[in-house]
Structure formats: C-alpha cells, structure tokens
Amino acid sequence: MKIYLRLFANARDLAGFGEQAVDLEGNPRAAEVLDYLSRVNPEFNAWRRSIRLAVNRRYVDEGHVLSENDEVAVIPPVSGG
Amino acid sequence: MVALTLNPIDIEAVVAKLITPASGGVNVFIGTTRNHSHGREVTLLEYEAFEPMAIELMGDLERRAHEQWPLHGVVLVHRLGKVSIGEASVVVGVSASHRKEAFEACRYLIDSLKKEVPVWKREHFADGTVEWSGENQKSQIKKQNKSKSEIKN
C-alpha cells in the first residue's frame, strides 16, 4: 500500500529527505512508519517517543490504521512561538 | 483570523483588527526572538512550518476559543523564515467585553499554539553552529538515559 511521507525539521535531517512515497505491506498502522524510519536511520529510535504522526493533517496515535494514498507527516517536537 | 507570514508582523494592524465598538479590552501576546538559549548566544532564528496543517490547527484554536469565551475577535499570526533578534515571531490577540475572558483566552491560545501547531525553530548560534530547538537537549537526555541504564546494568 502506497503512502506519502512528509518530514520536517530534525526528522527531515535524520532521514535525509523531506518527502517520499513508501510502499508498506498489508494493513499498516502508523507505528510502521516509525519502524520504517528506524531502518532508514537508527537514530530515529532515540526520537521515537517524542515524534508525533499526522495523517492527512490530523494528529493520530501509533495504532491508527493507514489507508492507500494517506499523507503521513512526521512531526518532531514543535518549537513555535 | 489566522496567518503565517514571511514578513514582519504588523502589530498595530492586528490590534486595529481586534477592536470593535462592543469591546472593552484587547489582549495581545507578542512572542519575540531572544538572543540566548540554554546559556548560549543566539544571533538569528529561522522558523519553518508544515503550513497547511499549521493553518488548520490555528483555525481550530480560533474556533475553540470562540466556543469557550465570549470573544469579539481572535488573531493568530506566526512568522516564518529568518527572524532577527528582538522581532515578533508570534502574535496572539483577542478582544472581548471584559478583561477576564480576554486574558484567559489569550493564555489558552498561546499555550496551545506552542504545544500543537507544527512550527519549528532553528537557532543560529554565535559560534557558527545551527541547531533545531531542543535538538541538543534531546541528545543530552539520551546521553543521561544511557548513562543511567549503564549504571543499572
């Protein structure tokens, strides 16, 4: 199943890309995006608990079931203001 | 009204937008860029956002504030791109008949914005290094946790 990843700030630096289409098998949950990123760069493991995911611009928890063509944003701790 | 802007925020214009004939007060919080972070000298800040999501969440906050308090107007503006020291990086303002709800709503809005809205700050330090805000503390936390687990083991 194809999803579209968007990465920001520190997460983009760790991954080395800001956008990527990714094929995940079966009925993946949002957590599998974090598993994928940990394979891209093991340093993501240290950030895993502080990263939030947003599907189609809404925050979701790690158990959220993804759908075909979802846009999954990888949101490291926000620091606006 | 919610907005992200690459240009300096016109605070007078924000206040003018908020004042209505029914208003008894306007409360504005102005977040400014400071020249120090965790004891290190900062020379410049840079902000980026996941813009469509940030705008949606800021709109949600505006609606929630209107639901919770009898407000006349709400403005949330965040600056993006390079911001010099001493400039406004965020402006949150509300108007209401009375100051109590204006203060409460303004506090709610800036606290929620800082927690929820996908905006990130990159600090340029005087020594030439550039870091995402919190990046360094995170690696220190990691090191601390590591040394704790080493002690346990």
A81 within a domain of the structure (yes/no): no
A34 within a domain of the structure (yes/no): yes
Q: What is the domain extent for residue B63? A: 2-152
CATH of the domain at B141: 3.90.1170.40
Task: Specify the pTM.
Answer: 0.91
Q: pLDDT tens-digit profile of A34-70? A: 999 999 999 999 988 999 999 999 999 999 999 999 9
Give CA–CA dist B7/A22, Å, rounded: 35
Cβ burial of A46 (10 Å; 0-12, 13-18, 19+) is middle
A25 within a domain of the structure (yes/no): yes
A80 within a domain of the structure (yes/no): no
Residues in A touching B142 (Cβ below 8 Å)? 46
Angstroms from B71 CA to nearest CA on chain A: 22
A69 within a domain of the structure (yes/no): yes
pLDDT of residue A54: 98
A53 within a domain of the structure (yes/no): yes
pLDDT > 90: percent of chain A: 96
Cα–Cα distances in angstroms (integers) from residue A74 to residues A2, A23, A58, B50, B146, in the given order: 16, 16, 11, 10, 25
Angle, CA B44 vertex, CA B40 and CA B45 arms, to 5°? 95
Q: Which of A77, A78, A81 sits opposite B89 (nearest CB)?
A: A81
The ipTM (two decimal places) reads 0.95
CATH of the domain at A19: 3.10.20.30
Q: What is the domain extent for residue A36? A: 2-75
- Return per-residue pLDDT of chain B as tens, 153 residues: 999 999 999 999 999 999 999 999 999 999 999 999 999 999 999 999 999 999 999 999 999 999 999 999 999 999 999 999 999 999 999 999 999 999 999 999 999 999 999 999 999 999 999 999 977 655 444 444 444 444 433
The total of structural domains in chain A comes to 1
The total of structural domains in chain B comes to 1
